[in-house]
Structure 1
């Protein structure tokens, strides 16, 4: 704000140096010329009165000289008066110009105050925005950290899921292998039981009452009891 004031002040001082300062001595010179004119006029009146009393050539000569000096002084006075008039006119113009520039300075001062208030308001708003941005940046950093943790947890969950799925598939494969082995064994037992039944029926047709001797106690079993034991053994294997 002080820069434009200094600029206006420097402009006015420069104008005074070019337009006002050269004519400062004119007023003093005019006053001195007026004083000299009054003195010469008084002297001339005194000389004329004395010349009338005494008479003489030298007195008339001095009177003409004084008249010439008086005319010269009057001429100079007219010039000085015209100069003073011109300077007065210029001074009025400069005063009007100075008032105009003072009004402009006042206007610019008010405008500068308005702009300063607007600048302060904008600075306050900017400070609020900066604070909001800082808070949002901190929240964003916290969310990024949380997101990173969630990504890591998700990756760990996917790994555990893959491992669990792999174990489950391995168990299902092993269970399928056991089931296939069991079915194969059952098929073998069923075929063997059918073969034994067929063979036993053929033997029963050949001999009506065959005697079966056990290896432990020498007891005898009828064909019906032997068939029942074969059927029971087959049912036990099918149950397993």
Structure 2
């Protein structure tokens, strides 16, 4: 049993004992007074029925004691009735508190189950977060690696583009030089063809003279 339940039960028992303690022995005293009352009543009957038996003064004393005993018996009966009512109320209150204890026990069990479920869910979430953290760290490392590879690829692309442009420029320069050379050779060829043509056209004239 839980400590708080034992504590509540012990406090209830101590309270009941403290409330019943002033009235301990009431039932015993009532029983003794009833016995005394019966004895005095029998003695009084015997005394009144005897022929010249007991004196009148003793009878009066016995009647007075009898009335006193009756009065005490009535008071004790009323006290017993009141105590019985109080005990019934205390029993009802005790049953009420026991019911409350059972209710709180059930609530505690429900809360304990809910707490265990929340702990299991929390552990699951912590495990998921830990796993996702590791995956995120791995993805971060992979992203840095890809970023470095992309940066290197861009650098290589820029270098290749620069070299390609240089090669194209050199090729264009060579082509321009080749075209210039071709153009010069064509001019020289045209010049030579004109020169040869002129030479050919001038040779018959010289031979006829």
TM-score range relative to shorter protein:
0.7 to 0.9
Runs in 1 of length 4+ with deviation above 6 angstroms?
45-51
The residue matched to 1:88 in structure 2 has which SS?
helix
- Tell me the distance in 2 between the aligned counterparts of 1:99 and 1:22: 23
Please state how far the C-alpha of 1:75 moved relative to its aligned partner.
0.9
- Tell me the distance in 2 between the aligned counterparts of 1:184 and 1:3: 110
Per-residue CA deviations over 1:178-206 (Å, capped at 9, x if unaligned) read 11122112212211221232233334433
- Which residue among 198, 201, 204 is the counterpart of 1:205? 201
Equivalent position of 2:27 in the other structure: 27
Q: 1:146 to 1:69 in 2, by over 3 A?
A: same
Matched, 1:76 2:72: yes
- Tell me the distance in 2 between the aligned counterparts of 1:76 and 1:136: 86
- Which residue among 133, 139, 152 is the counterpart of 2:135? 139
TM-score of the superposed pair, with normalisation by structure 1: 0.67
Structure with higher RCO (Cα < 8 A, 6+ apart): 2
Q: 1:181 to 1:54 in 2, by over 3 A?
A: closer
Between 152-161 and 191-200, report the one with greater CA deviation. 191-200
The residue matched to 2:187 in structure 1 has which SS?
helix
Please state how far the C-alpha of 1:160 moved relative to its aligned partner.
0.6
Which has more radius of gyration?
1
> How many residues are paired up?
206
Gaps of 5+ in 2: none
Q: 1:51 to 1:24 in 2, by over 3 A?
A: farther
TM-score of the superposed pair, with normalisation by structure 2: 0.75
Equivalent position of 1:187 in the other structure: 183
Gaps of 5+ in 1: 211-240
Equivalent position of 1:112 in the other structure: 108
